[in-house]
Amino acid sequence: MNDGLSFKSMLPIFIVGIIVTLVAGHYGTVYFFMDKLNVGYSFSFKDFGLLYDLQQRYSLMANGDNFSDAKNVADKIKLYIMAGYLPAIVWIGMFVMLFWDTGRKLHGDARFATQAEIQKAGYFPVSTGKNKPKYPPILFGKYGDKLLKYCSNEFYSVAAPTRSGKGVSIVIPNLLNYPESAVVFDVKSENFDITAGFRSKYTNVYRFSPTALDYCSHGYNPMDYVRRDPLHVVSDIQNIAKILYPTSNPNMDVFFNQQAQTLFLGLSLYMIEKEQPLNLADLLKLSTPKNGMNLQEWIVAEMETEAVNLTIDCVDALLSFANTSDKTASSILASFQAPLNIFRDPVIAAATSKSDFNLEDIRRKKMSIYVCINVGDVEKCAALMNLFFSQLIDLNTKVLPEQDPTLKYQCLLLMDEFLSLGYMGVIEKGVSFIAGYGLRLLVIFQNREQGNIAYPKGFGTILSNINGKAVFAPNELVDARDYSEMLGYETVKGKSRSNQSKGGSSTTISDQKRALMLPQELRELDPDTQIIIFRGQKPILCKKIKYFEDEVFIQRANLPKPKVPPLDLRSIQSKNKEARKESLYTTSEIPVEKLATIPHEKRINNDEILNMLYMAGGVVDADNLVI
C-alpha cells in the first residue's frame, strides 16, 4: 500500500514503541513472575538475560535425576518469556491494523504488475520441451533482459502514433520470430525487404503488390474463389459483392449498394456462363458497353438473343438493373463502378488477373503473404485491400480446425495501419469468433478517434474483443484521458493543514484518489517505454523491443529476398488494344446528334490513357521491364 507521508511520519514512533515494549515486557516478566518461581533469585536490572539463563539451566537439570521438578520449572519460564513479548506483539498489531488495510481501497488500488506476476501470467514461456506453449507467441515487449511473449489464440492491438517505433518494436520482431503463417499489410514494402528472406527459409513467401514500381507481384484474383458449380456460384459471388458494396456500413448508401450487389451478381454470372475469364478489370469493362450503348440498352439487346442460354439467376439480376429508371440506373452504375475504378490501372489489372497463391491454404501450409502498397496508393487501393483481408477471413471461417485435421497452423494477420483499410464488416461481426478458426489479429492503429470514424458503431466492440492492448505515448489528449481511465486509480494518503481562529493549526490525513498515470504523464511517456493491458491482470510497464539491438534479430534481418515474378503487362496491353479498336469511334460512324450524348469515358477509355502513360514511361517488354 502506498500510504505516503503518514506512514513515514509514524515510523519513528513505531520503532521507539517496539524497543519500549520489548524492554518493559521483559523486565515486567522478571519482576512479576520471579517470586512465583521460588528458586532463590531476586530481581535486578543488571540481570537482563536472567530468565533465559534459568530456562537453559532447568532444561539441563530436567534431563538428569537431581531435580524432579526441573522440567516443570523450565516450562513455566518459557511461558513467562513468551508473556514478555506480548506488549510488543500488541503494539505491532495496532500498526498493522492502522496501515495494512487488506480490504477494498476507497478509490481503488491500481498499480503495475510485478515481475513475479508477469511470470505467473505466462509471459516468460519456455519455448521448447514439454512445457512448450500450445500457440505460437506474439512478442510484445521486454522486461529487464527478457522478451515478453503472448502465447494464445487471442488478439492483440497497438495504439501507436506515427513515428513511434511500431515497426521496429512490433512488426519486424514478430515477422522474424512467428513460426507459422502470417499475412501482413505492408505499407512501403519495408517489412518484406527486412523479413521476407528469413521467412522464406520455412514458409512459402508471396508479395502481392498491385502498385509495385518495379511491376513485380504475385497475383491475387478474388474472383478465382467463386466456385463454378450451381450450388455455390451465386453465394460465392454474393459474398464478394457484400464486401465491395457493404450495406452494414453506416457511411454507405444502403439502397444503391444493394442494387450494385445485384448488378455485380448478374454481370459475374454472365461472364461465367459465357465462359469468359472472370476478373474485376474485365467485369468493369463489361459495365461500359461498346458501340455507344448504355448498360441498360446492352442488357436488353443481350436478353433478346441470349436469355435462353443464361440461368434464371443471371437474367433476373441483369433485368433488375435494366428495368429501373434512367436516373436510378445512373446512380446504381456509379455505385457499382466506384470500388472497381482502380482496375482501370493496367498494373492493378495485371496483378488481379490470376492467382499465384490460395488463401484457403494459410492454415494448411506455412505461408507468408506480404500485401504491399505504396504510401500514396493506400487510399486509392483501400477497397482492394479491404476485399483481400475480408475475403481471407471469410474463406477461413467456414471450417474449424477441430473439424479438419489438415488445418494445423495458426495464421497471424498483422495489419499495420489497420484503419486505413476502411470499414470491414467481416471483422466487426466476426471479431468475437474468428480466433477459434486459427486466425489471430494483430492490429495497429494511430488513435481511437480514427477507429470511431471507420466504425461509427462498432469500434468499441472490436476493442473489447481484443485481449492484449499496447499503449504508446499518445499524441491526442482525448486518447490520453481514455488510457488513463483504463489504467485505473489508486488510493493515496493526502495531508491537509488548516489554521484555527485562536492560533495554531491542525493537520488532517485522508484517503485521496489519484490516477495510476495522469493524461499528461501518459503523453510524456518515454519513447522506449510502453504500457500493456491484458484483461483481468495488472497493467505491465515495460520497454519496447528494438530488433536492431538484438543479436538474434540482427542475424535474421535483411537476408536475400525471394524473387517476385514480373507482371504480365503484355497481355493486359493487348486486351486494351483490342478494346480500343472496338470502342474508339469517328464522327463518320456515329451520328452527330448522338456524339454529344456519349460520355467521355466511352469515347476514350481511361485504360487507354493510363496504358499510353505507362508506355511513354518506358514499359516496352514484359520480360525486360524498365521504369
Same domain, 210 and 230: no
Q: What is the mean pLDDT of the chain?
A: 83
Q: Is residue 341 part of a domain?
A: yes
Task: Enumerate residues 6+ apart whose C-beta is below 8 A from 349.
Answer: 279, 281, 343, 572, 607
Distance CA 155, CA 138 (A): 10
Check: CB of residue 129 under 8 Å from CB of residue 153.
no
Distance CA 532, CA 419 (A): 21
Domain harbouring 379, CATH code? 3.40.50.300
**pLDDT-derived band at 626, boundaries 50, 70, 90:** very low
Same domain, 506 and 594: no
Distance CA 456, CA 448 (A): 11
- Tell me what percent of the chain is helix, strand and coil, each rounded to the nearest 5: 50, 15, 35
Asked whether the predicted pLDDT for residue 81 surpasses 70, the reply is no
Distance CA 280, CA 387 (A): 12
Nearest to 77 by CA among 37, 26, 23: 37
Distance CA 153, CA 466 (A): 11
pLDDT digits (tens, 9 = 90+) for 462-514: 998 999 999 999 999 999 999 999 998 887 666 666 666 666 666 666 667 78
Compute the CA torsion angle 227, 229, 230, 231 (nearest 10 deg): -70
Chain centroid offset of residue 613 CA = 40
Q: Which of 541, 558, 586 is the last residue of a domain?
A: 541
Q: Which of 54, 83, 99 is the last residue of a domain?
A: 99
Measured from the Cβ of residue 142, the count of other Cβ atoms closer than 10 Å reads 20
Greater confidence (604 vs 552) lies with 552
Same domain, 375 and 483: yes
Same domain, 262 and 392: no
622 to 60, 213, 361, 627: CA distances (angstroms): 105, 14, 29, 12
Same domain, 374 and 445: yes
Same domain, 210 and 245: no
Q: Which SS3 state, helix, strand or coil, does residue 415 take?
A: strand
Q: Is residue 141 part of a domain?
A: no
Nearest to 339 by CA among 393, 381, 373: 381
Check residue 253 and give its pLDDT. 77
Q: Look up residue 94 and give its three cell numbers.
A: 495496532
Same domain, 519 and 434: yes
Same domain, 302 and 270: yes
Q: Look up residue 358 and give its three cell numbers.
A: 490460395
Same domain, 198 and 246: no
Q: Is residue 144 part of a domain?
A: no
Q: Is residue 324 part of a domain?
A: yes
Q: Which of 78, 99, 120 is the last residue of a domain?
A: 99
Amino acid 545 reads: I
Same domain, 365 and 344: no
Q: Which SS3 state, helix, strand or coil, does residue 394 take?
A: helix
> Whose grid coordinates read 513505531?
14
**pLDDT-derived band at 619, boundaries 50, 70, 90:** very low
Q: Is residue 394 part of a domain?
A: yes
Query: How many structural domains are present in the chain?
Result: 3
The residue count of the chain comes to 627
pLDDT digits (tens, 9 = 90+) for 419-438: 988 888 888 888 889 999 99
Check: CB of residue 456 under 8 Å from CB of residue 170.
no
Same domain, 233 and 337: yes
pLDDT digits (tens, 9 = 90+) for 132-187: 888 999 999 999 999 999 999 999 999 999 888 999 999 999 999 999 999 999 99
Domain that holds residue 368: 153-215+360-541
Q: Look up residue 42 and give its three cell numbers.
A: 531476586
Same domain, 400 and 525: yes
Q: Is residue 119 part of a domain?
A: no
Q: Is residue 132 part of a domain?
A: no
Q: Is residue 121 part of a domain?
A: no
Q: Look up residue 485 and give its three cell numbers.
A: 481511465
Check: CB of residue 469 under 8 Å from CB of residue 448.
no
Chain centroid offset of residue 570 CA = 40
Burial 564-596 (b: 16+ CB within 10 A, else e): bebbbbeebbebbeebeeebebeeeebeeeeee
Check: CB of residue 395 under 8 Å from CB of residue 235.
no
